[in-house]
Amino acid sequence: MKRFFMQRKNLIVSAILILCLILSTLAFAQQEQDENQQKVKNVILMIPDGMTIAHTTLSRWYQGGEPLSMDEIACGLVKTYSANNPITDSAPAATAYATGYKTQNRYISIYPEMVSMPGVGQVEEKDFYKPIVTILEAAKKVGKSTGLVFTCQFPHATPAAFASHTDNRNDYESIAEQMVYNQVDVVLGGGYKYIDKNQRKDKEDLAGYLKQNGFFVTTSWQEAKNFSGKKIWGLFAQDAMHYDFDRNGTGEPSLAEMTQKALQILSKNRNGFFLMVEGSEIDWASHANDPVGVVSEVLAFDKAVKVALDFAKSRDDTAVIIASDHANGGMSLGNYTTKYDTALLNDFLAYITKAKRTGAGIEEHLGNNKTDENIKKIVSEYYGINDLTSDEINAIKNAKAGNLNYVLGPIISKRSNIGWTSNGHTGEEVVLYAYHPNGYIPRGVIDNTEICDYMAEILGIDLGSFNENAYISNIDLEEKGYDVSIDTINPSNVQLVINKGSKTYIIPQNKNVVLEGSNQYKLKYVSVYIPSAKRFFVSSEIESLIKLP
């Protein structure tokens, strides 16, 4: 009898073990299935630079209360502070989205040396200024196509953060060169002069380099629209493009049209793509406190959102993430003089709905004809304002070139019950919007770095592994025994020089090449020089090329 019960007990134990094994296998299979459902092939990141809730509310009112395309996918809030400031500028804000790391103001996709905000980890001194591999660079390395669409000039902070590395966001020439050598597949926006050898200070023929490497380069939207290849740089203005309300007659495409074209080209890659689309000039209108510019650019951005969402919803492999990089202007609907219990909607919209151009567009139209009568005529015709004061007329007359929107914006705001607290950025959270074919989206209040983490996760990209050994500095090389020097004779073309025996290896900044005599080798990443720290960072496989014994 005892033997019978022992056999029965063993059978029960075996059955339990088998059941546990089956359940574990099923759980693992379910987890694997869930993870596969989270993965997508394509990611579209959309950044309405400087946009806040007040911006979207005013834009909704402008179009009769109709919802914006982005409204249906609102899902949370994003914290925007940088590594060293409660209020970020666009460079570290875009860096957080591009790399998953916070850096300090003015820095683009490099580690900070100053960290003072709570919860931001301090970087080791040896990694100060080191370039951080971006989601775009990693996507390209795993065989995906990459794209940037914007209305600013392409070396501006937000697009720059995805394809360049520097401690000076205003060094447009170096940034442009890095972005060109990073060979982003599709670049559509403004800034042709930064690749034109006749307009660059260093006379580098970046347009020629692109053409030699199989890119179609054009300043014509008609040519870009008819392009049927896979690699294009379409730069439709010498510098920044016009505000959307001012675009008529310029030949420039809308943000929605450029987004549509980018998706058409990038979707040819079976491995998928990463695309960043920026509504660049929402930010600029906010700096100027220009509500007409705000409405112009928010609605233009929202049309691009519709293009992206229509594309994503027509397939099962594309996610769309939308988040401003920061707030701007402290815009409010209602100001100190507003009697909110009696104010009607028309009290906010009367002049804005009549507006035919932004302040920047009015400046072009006025030209040098700034007589009192012409100012009154133009402002009446384009804004419906017929009661300009003498102080306002004089302010328009005396506005610095390129800054008339800073005068006209407040004139319209005052008459429209719209308040502003600043001509600069502000530090509050911004709205998060997200679409995923299987509903796997971030929710709640998240950090801006988590946007990058999320994109990397759903694309199946391990950014940490890319960053682990991506770059080595001149200091690291010296410590390893290399004969290294930095040649700064030509400040526009600083070079890292490595001597080994009878051979000399020359590595120019902002490029991804090594020169040794008549030989030229290509590196994985562009080389980066940080003048303030006298640090030169180069792609780490330089060691295998030199082969130090």
In the prediction, which pLDDT does 546 show? 87
Residues 527 and 405 in one domain: no
The binding site for Mg(2+) comprises 49, 156, 158, 278
Q: Which is the catalytic residue, given 82, 90, 324, 540?
A: 90
Domain containing 293 — which CATH number?
A: 3.40.720.10
Q: Per the structure, how many domains does the chain have?
A: 3
Q: What is the pLDDT of residue 16?
A: 75
Distance CA 44, CA 335 (A): 36
Q: What is the pLDDT of residues 131-141, one digit of tens each?
A: 999 999 999 99
220 belongs to a structural domain: yes
Q: Tell me if residue 14 is catalytic.
A: no
Question: What integer is the mean pLDDT of 306-317?
Answer: 98
The verdict on residue 37 lying in a domain is: no
Specify whether 141 is located in the same domain as 116: yes
| 186-190, 384-388, 545-549: least confidently modelled range | 545-549
The mean pLDDT of 453-475, rounded to a whole number, is 96
142-179 pLDDT tens trace: 999 999 999 999 999 999 999 999 999 999 999 999 99
Decide if 349 is inside a domain: no
| Domain co-membership, 394 together with 501 | no
What percent of the chain stands above pLDDT 70? 94
Residue 405 pLDDT > 90: yes
Q: Is the pTM of this model over 0.85?
A: yes
Instruction: For 39-171, list the strands marked E by DSSP.
Output: 42-47, 74-79, 145-153
Binding site for Zn(2+): residue ranges? 49, 283, 287, 325-326, 425
pLDDT tens per residue, range 42-95: 999 999 999 999 999 999 999 999 999 999 999 999 999 999 999 999 999 999
DSSP state of 122: P
One domain, residues 399 and 524: no
Is 343 within the bounds of a domain?
no
- Output the DSSP codes for 233-271: EEE-SSSSPPPGGG-TTS-PPPHHHHHHHHHHHHTT-TT
User: Residues within the annotated binding site?
Assistant: 49, 156, 158, 278, 283, 287, 325-326, 425
Domain final residue, candidates 406, 441, 468? 468
Residue 27 has pLDDT above 60, yes or no: no
Task: State the sign of the Cα–Cα–Cα–Cα dihedral 179, 182, 183, 188.
Answer: negative
Same-domain status, 447 and 540: no
Task: Answer yes or no: are the C-beta atoms of 26 and 445 closer than 8 Å.
Answer: no
Residue 5 pLDDT class (50, 70, 90 cuts): very low
Tokens 């709640």: give the residue.
Answer: 444
- 395 plus 304 within the same structural domain: no
**Do 55 and 172 fall within a single domain?**
yes
Range of the domain at 370: 356-417
- pLDDT per residue as tens digits for the range 202-260: 999 999 999 999 999 999 999 999 999 999 999 999 999 999 999 999 999 999 999 99
If asked whether residues 222 and 295 sit together in one domain, one would say: yes
Residue at 23 is within a domain: no
Same-domain status, 257 and 180:
yes
Domain-located, residue 348: no
Q: Is residue 155 part of a domain?
A: yes
